[in-house]
Amino acid sequence: MEHAVGPYQMEHVAVDGVSIFTNNGVSGEFRGFGGNQVTFALEGQIDRLAEKLAIDPIELRRKNLRKTSSLGPMGHRIAPTSGASDVLEKINAHSFNKQLEIDSNKTKNAQKVSGIGIAISMHGGGLGYGRLDPAGGSLTFTETGKIEIAFGFEEAGQGILHVIETILTEELGCDVKDINVLIGDTAKVPSSGSTTASRGTSMVWHAVNKMKRPFKQQLLQSAGKVLKIPFEQMVLGIGGIYSKDKSDGMLVSYAQLARQMQNLPPIHVTTSFDFPTTPDEVDGGHFLYTFSSVFAQVEIDLLTGKLRVINLDQVIAAGPVVSLRGYTGQIEGGGVMSLGYTLMEEAVMDQGFYRTENLDSYLIPGMQDIPSMNVTAIEKLEAGDPYGPRGVGEIGTVAVAPAIAKAIHDAIGYWPTKLPVSSEELLTAISRKEEHQWLTAKKRF
């Protein structure tokens, strides 16, 4: 529902959501979780309106874009953010520069045409108002001298382990060799909620920031008792405990400290809290949003209808980047995933049964299908924003399809209305356009 108006402020809009029971295959979770489909429709309508009104599509978006303190898409309060404007202006400048580059490198090829398109989107993190969305974690100083952090998340290839390592080592000042990450085993870890909804990075950041002060204090107090030094004069560092000015080198390693702490109370800090949500009673309303803009460049063969995506660049506003490798991987991976359902992946059903049962008929992108991709991160948060980095697990998929659709229209004047867009569909559109041009020319004579 909230994606139906996206990052825009529209006074005269009414949205009805209808759930329909069918005999088709059961749908599962997917990056974007409904936002992909609605954003394809919304951004396509914005582009069509701009064409009808003879207005630059960027300018039409700019005129209707949400402001920093605007309410959310369902009229609910959200964390103030200029993300929508930031990604739009950045992709506009990028699109202008890319067009200049395309024009300067253009070669005459009557068989192929190219086009460009942009689209923007917003996506909420967490499960939203009215949903159980707990989070929590624990920090323990083990008997072997390891700083052990535990979460109920699971690593499914999204890179949560690297996020945990990065945040913890930065906040405590230690090294990755000093820590042990424990996840997944529900008998040993606190409840952290679901590994879903672009919430993992945010929850780790919040949990570590809630636990770091009491954990540091307890560990330094124990070190003070062992070393007979006021704990206020010491800090945690790589490999062990140091004096604040670090003039004396390492005072004691974590392993040595653990052996000398056997008669002292164990150090174990836990936290539990809920994912930030809107204070307004709006079912499913989110509070923390990420924003994206996508630039797509396509090339279409006029004889075969074959389409190739040449460039797929994204600008993302999601607060501070925790892991650049993970951040870029999520956005690029999401982009390729969207490329698949935009141009290739079609689950054909007949009488409730799948006809595309294997990967020989259900095609997915291969290495040769992957375009040039660039990811630009806008890390700015509003002054006083206490919510830290937002998750980027889904935002990289949401606006890709409409950007490609606009690029198709820019190339051959055809608006795709459903996904995936096949070569046959494009070839039919090209043929009809050529037939129309021929008939129009014939009437003149």
Burial of 370 (0-12, 13-18, 19+ CB in 10 A): middle
Whole-angstrom distance between the N-terminal and C-terminal Cα of the chain?
A: 52
Tell me the pLDDT of the chain averaged across its residues.
Answer: 91
- pLDDT given at position 185: 79
- pLDDT given at position 441: 60
Q: Which residues are within 8 A (CB) of 190 and not within 5 positions of it... i.e. 6 or more apart?
A: 136, 137, 138, 150, 151, 152, 270, 272
Could you tell me the domains of the chain?
2-128+285-444 (3.30.365.10), 134-274 (3.30.365.10)
Q: Which has the higher per-residue pLDDT, 53 or 14?
A: 53
DSSP character at residue 55: -
Does residue 442 have a pLDDT over 60?
no
Helix-helix angle 57-64:83-104, to 10 degrees: 170
Which amino acid makes up residue 182?
L
Model confidence band, residue 191 (pLDDT cutoffs 50, 70, 90)? confident
Neighbours of 308 (CB within 10 A): 15
Closest to 283 measured CA to CA, from 132, 130, 134: 130
Q: What is the mean pLDDT of residues 90-112?
A: 86
Dist CA 203 CA 388 (whole Å): 10
Secondary structure element (H or E) that encloses residue 325, with its range: helix 324-343
* Dihedral of alpha carbons 351, 420, 326, 377, sign: negative
pTM over 0.85: yes
pLDDT tens-place string over residues 151-162: 988 887 778 899
Q: What is the mean pLDDT of residues 381-395?
A: 93
pLDDT tens-place string over residues 246-257: 777 899 999 999
Dist CA 83 CA 66 (whole Å): 9
Does residue 110 have a pLDDT over 90?
no
User: What phi and psi, each to the nearest 5 degrees, are found at residue 298?
Assistant: -120, 160
- pLDDT given at position 148: 96
pLDDT tens-place string over residues 15-74: 888 888 888 877 777 888 889 999 999 999 999 999 999 999 999 999 999 999 999 998
- pLDDT given at position 439: 59
Does residue 443 have a pLDDT over 70?
no
Q: What is the mean pLDDT of residues 408-417?
A: 96
Burial of 246 (0-12, 13-18, 19+ CB in 10 A): exposed
